[in-house]
Structure 1
């Protein structure tokens, strides 16, 4: 049982680690895919119970005497090393899951412990493998143990303990609340990213420790969250550390070979350099593991669906429920004073000719005003802009003008393309100053200052859209921060649950 739980934890953990780390990418082909977060959590609970049971009854265990090699200094040291790394792995895993920001430990410690586990398995097994070869496999689970009463008692105690721990965790530690402070209907909150209103100072805050993102210090940042609500709308305030305000979005650069999209990973839809800062909020009626069961990891985690180019995975809902997703973008939506209102639903039907398959991630419907990309067809070898500036003055600093407007540009013609090498053009063109329709249900504005983003969001409690979730008590909430990255966002294991106070 311990061996089974250990290997399930190890292999699912390695798959999860590939979202942020590439040390074990060479094992990707044999690692499990899909909803591995759930199996990782179950196996971790069972392994914890087995470890506790072993420690409790350690003195009563009969030590084997037929194999003197177990008493050698080498094996004693290896076993002691194994006990230490296993305890550290379990402890760091539970601390990371339970703290959710209360203990700002380095979230990578749990990952580093995996190297110790792998080393222990190698040191512990390679001598036995040299001595016994394939016979070692049959000795991992000796048949004679199945006939012993103690084996069944041990299994029953560990499984019962795992069920108890699972139930206790889900009903208590698994449900941290975000208190929503009441707000009078006539109180005005300016969505400007400043949060200067006294009401914000009085609102209760929750801090969530997020990890696993690109470009952040150690891939981590803490997010402070506040919420207020009147009878009609719910306001959110998010604040997180980010050393720089990233305001580039795949700028077009004129080279000797023509126009190129500046990128570092964009060809695989995993840009981590020439991209804007972003922030995402996911809401759901339920609070399951792995982004409420929507995270499916691996190069092809969904049967009969296209592979993803970055091999990390997809978001999709397989239970028939829709998850609400608000996606604020520092370049593409911030000047519209909006967050992109999206959702996670059932996997979409693949479109012929489309390079990118997004599974269940899609935008709400819109009527007009959507931004467009300023290239006709993407290729990593070069692009042709859709439009060029009417005015010949262009900037070479993409952060100064990361957005162009449709009407300040004209259709691309070779005779107008006289710009010198090194010229930069924005890749984003606004067709209007605002998106309209369901996609514009979330008003938002972010402001960066002194190493921190401050982001205000507001949305109606109930928009009436089938793609939006009604905001009410016990609604589950997750947040993710992006630092100049397309998909490499931070995350946290346990969601918050909204708790509306009565006026």
Structure 2
């Protein structure tokens, strides 16, 4: 009996190495990218895979995987050229004619067509990724996601095409390396196959390193001009003074937020000055509405209800629950779904450069697997290198205080028993100082954050009529702004702790503020003093703080300070963001 030996198919070692580098980089890039996509407004379908997506160090992984893709793409193009392997992917007339032939020839052509789909998708992925990293969003985010789906389609189709072309042996050839072919003849230069591969890999690695260097060298800089004390006394949020007019302006594009006329993006203009003792920041950002309301409370026949905004999953579940019910029931259940939250603005400062990702933010429902989930479902703030950063938070409802909240973000804390059992919110490494608070919610912490459920107000107005006048025109459409003189935060001195007696005197249908404004207090050295005004679709905020407060957990502001900013357009947590920090340079 005669046995016929079938030689196993193999692939040159250079292609094997580059293929698996590309595959691993793409896998890491896609998995971490889908984690970010889960947070997008129209990607509820990704909730199925969300529990299986990575949650730790995803900014670092995503960016480094993207940079690796740049290097591998450059190396592979050079390798194909220098090794004379472009015929593998040539799409000429002969190759296209093979589509009419049965068997492996047809599938070989199909595979080449898939290659070109992949090349185009990868090019779009890299270009849009670089643009996103530079601070732009909008349609670029959509293109980036579409390219991801195209690459996933290619990966599955590529394997199936190889199976159809030559069976399992054809697929397994990518794990059976063979000798690298000799370099193609390009004139007088002659390199061995190995030397040619090493040269291609080195050039690809240099391209990746060059991108990282260019990214670092091109970081935005906010120049902080020096003024004297008398000039500082004239600074105001109108920016009409000569000091503000002469200050250099840094334009920061922020994206991936919500609202903002549907764009989820806001351009922030930043100016800064100092007088050797205090730093002054002027922030101006786009916001189409002046939103002062935060979860106002309405008295119904069944008690008080807070007009909370809901997450996408909560809203979808509630809408599904009323399918098929009466029209009155559907109206009752869907009446309080608007995002009734105040406008806010946050700025983060650190004296440690964090090049991979926006400061200390980590997206995901549970970014820390061994800790309680995120209260917002969007992510948590904490640092992973042991450092601490400052977060200054301005709230439209805290205008009376003339302060921003000066909070901290450090390493994730150990959850308390109350946080483990859901009785208290776990906030990762975010630590708010009680003395820095400018306002608090007018609802008991034990009340469910559900617009359908009864809510327990903490305080009720002493004079309902006066409170009604302070609210101005009541419009519960979240996309409609509030009048300039409207006040949707009730002061402590015009309210009293909740009591059944006081509640009984308030008629059904009454709406009271969902925020309690803390009474102004004497300023402290650690305070961030703020004034703000809204006009013509833009907020302008003036913030000032001592350069060095002499407090151990306050960032000393100077040439080594890095900053990030975020815009909240009537949203509780879905603020805009930018990936790359900008650096201060003191004049």
TM-score of the pair, normalised by structure 2: 0.76
- Which residue number in structure 2 is paired with residue 355 of structure 1? 424
Are residues 162 and 214 of structure 1, via their aligned partners in 2, closer, same or farther at CA, if it must alter by over 3 Å? same
Number of equivalenced pairs: 493
Would the aligned equivalents of 1:46 and 1:162 in 2 still touch at CA under 8 Å? Answer: no
Residue 136 of structure 1: CA displacement?
7.8
- Rounded to whole Å, the distance in 2 between the matches of 1:347 and 1:266 is 24
Equivalent runs, 1:382-421 vs 2, <5 Å: 382-393=454-465, 394-395=467-468, 397=474, 399=482, 400-418=486-504, 419-421=506-508
- Which residue number in structure 1 is paired with residue 175 of structure 2? 142
Alignment deviations for residues 183-230 of structure 1 (CA, whole Å, 9 cap, x no partner): 112213456532221211110011111110011232111111111111
- Rounded to whole Å, the distance in 1 between the matches of 2:384 and 2:133 is 24
Alignment deviations for residues 237-291 of structure 1 (CA, whole Å, 9 cap, x no partner): 1111111111111111112211011012279999971111111111111222344
Residue 310 of structure 1: CA displacement?
4.1
Would the aligned equivalents of 1:210 and 1:492 in 2 still touch at CA under 8 Å? Answer: yes
Equivalent runs, 1:39-50 vs 2, <5 Å: 39-50=61-72
1:118 to 135, 138, 152: 152
Would the aligned equivalents of 1:189 and 1:197 in 2 still touch at CA under 8 Å? Answer: no
Are residues 155 and 495 of structure 1, via their aligned partners in 2, closer, same or farther at CA, if it must alter by over 3 Å? same
1:31 to 53, 58, 71: 53
- Rounded to whole Å, the distance in 2 between the matches of 1:280 and 1:307 is 22
1:202 to 216, 226, 246: 246
- Which residue number in structure 1 is paired with residue 372 of structure 2? 306
- Which residue number in structure 1 is paired with residue 123 of structure 2? 87
Moved more, 260-269 or 372-381: 260-269
Q: What root-mean-square deviation, in Å, do the aligned CA atoms of Structure 1 and Structure 2 show? A: 3.1
Are residues 54 and 267 of structure 1, via their aligned partners in 2, closer, same or farther at CA, if it must alter by over 3 Å? closer
- Which residue number in structure 1 is paired with residue 511 of structure 2? 424
1:329 to 388, 395, 402: 395
Instruction: With a CA cutoff of 8 Å and minimum separation of 6, indicate the structure with the bigger relative contact order.
Output: 1
Residue 7 of structure 1: CA displacement?
1.2
- Rounded to whole Å, the distance in 1 between the matches of 2:269 and 2:224 is 14
- Rounded to whole Å, the distance in 2 between the matches of 1:244 and 1:486 is 15
Would the aligned equivalents of 2:107 and 2:164 in 1 still touch at CA under 8 Å? Answer: no
1:185 to 229, 235, 245: 229
Residue 193 of structure 1 aligns to a residue in which SS? coil
- Which residue number in structure 2 is paired with residue 487 of structure 1? 573
Moved more, 219-228 or 299-308: 299-308
Residue 435 of structure 2 aligns to a residue in which SS? coil
Are residues 46 and 18 of structure 1, via their aligned partners in 2, closer, same or farther at CA, if it must alter by over 3 Å? same
- Which residue number in structure 1 is paired with residue 282 of structure 2? 237
Are residues 167 and 391 of structure 1, via their aligned partners in 2, closer, same or farther at CA, if it must alter by over 3 Å? closer
Residue 63 of structure 2 aligns to a residue in which SS? helix
Alignment deviations for residues 345-364 of structure 1 (CA, whole Å, 9 cap, x no partner): 12123233243110111124
1:446 to 509, 532, 535: 532
Would the aligned equivalents of 1:474 and 1:497 in 2 still touch at CA under 8 Å? Answer: yes
- Rounded to whole Å, the distance in 2 between the matches of 1:363 and 1:62 is 59
Would the aligned equivalents of 1:264 and 1:272 in 2 still touch at CA under 8 Å? Answer: yes
- Which residue number in structure 1 is paired with residue 132 of structure 2? 96
- Rounded to whole Å, the distance in 2 between the matches of 1:177 and 1:11 is 32
Residue 464 of structure 1 aligns to a residue in which SS? coil
Would the aligned equivalents of 1:315 and 1:344 in 2 still touch at CA under 8 Å? Answer: yes
Equivalent runs, 1:463-474 vs 2, <5 Å: 463-474=549-560
Moved more, 129-138 or 441-450: 129-138
Q: Which has the larger radius of gyration?
A: 2
For the pair 1:462 / 2:534, whether they are aligned, the reply is no
- Which residue number in structure 2 is paired with residue 373 of structure 1? 441
Would the aligned equivalents of 1:235 and 1:458 in 2 still touch at CA under 8 Å? Answer: yes
For the pair 1:53 / 2:86, whether they are aligned, the reply is no
